[in-house]
Amino acid sequence: MMVDMRNSPSGEGQRARQKRESLTRILDASAARLRADGPDGGAIGKVMRDAGLTHGAFYSHFASKDDLAIAAFRHGLAESRPRWIGKTRDASWGARAARLARGYLNRTHRDERADSCAFSAIGSDAARMPAEFRSAYEEELRKTLNAMGGRPVDDPQEHELYDEAIATLALCIGGLVLSRAVESESFSSRILRVCRNAAARMGAAVDERAERGPGAEV
């Protein structure tokens, strides 16, 4: 990722600028490794080589590999989340759920792992990560659920479609993980298609319930 120097803080000294740029390179490289290879792919030596920096430069920014894993996880989601959510003003929750599912559950996202969603890259491995990582995972998950509901990512209040967002995101992540796990291309594509359609149906059911009014059952 190229660093846009036009966004550099005014009056920033050369040393501070170089340190910031090296941090960005480390985070880019580590996030790509994490998404492509999972939690075990972020060896310090590999990341620093990908970043084009010396091994010793790592400790100018991080105390441990675990600290880097958390920072890279957050960095990857901060980049991918806005691209996935987008700025489209959907007509309804059903329209948004269907659009998000199409943007997540497709062959391009399945195959381009290094640029994909960190949630699906981590998968069930998050349950075996240290408590600090799982805390960061939960925070980033809540940010994504907020964004799915059109709220600021740091909003402490859950929006009215929070449960629906959880269900849609779980279907997206689970569907992508399954599609990557199987050997058959045709079966993998079928998993993606089935999960996309299920997300659209769930979203449409929410819209129907809203049209019928409070207390209506679908």
pLDDT tens for 45-100 read 889 998 998 888 888 899 888 999 999 999 999 999 999 999 888 999 999 999 99
More confident residue, 59 or 147: 147
Assess contact for 76 and 181: CB atoms under 8 A. Answer: no
Assigned domain for 83 exists: yes
Residue 57 lies inside a defined structural domain of this protein:
no
In a domain, 174, yes or no: yes
- According to the model, what pLDDT value does residue 151 have? 94
pLDDT of residue 123: 83
Residue 198 lies in a domain: yes
The pair of structure tokens assigned to 106 is 């497709």
27: in domain:
no
Six-digit token pair at 181?
């796990």
CA distance 169 to 152: 17
| pTM exceeding the 0.95 threshold for the entire prediction | no
Number of domains composing the chain: 1
Q: What is the mean pLDDT of residues 135-155?
A: 96
Q: Is 201 contained in some domain?
A: yes
**Distance in angstroms between the alpha carbons of the first and the last residue of the chain:** 46
- Residue 70, domain member (yes or no): yes
Please give the pLDDT value at position 59: 87
Strands (E), 25-175: none
pLDDT, position 218: 45
Q: Is the pLDDT of residue 141 over 80?
A: yes
DSSP secondary structure code for residue 115 in this structure: G
- Give all strands (DSSP E) within the chain, no chain letters: none
Residue range(s) defining the domain that contains residue 162: 64-212
**For the purposes of burial, counting CB atoms within 10 Å of the CB of 144, is it exposed (0-12), middle (13-18) or buried (19 or more)?**
buried
CATH of the domain at 170: 1.10.357.10
**Does pLDDT of 185 surpass 50?**
yes
User: Quick check: is 35 in a domain?
Assistant: no
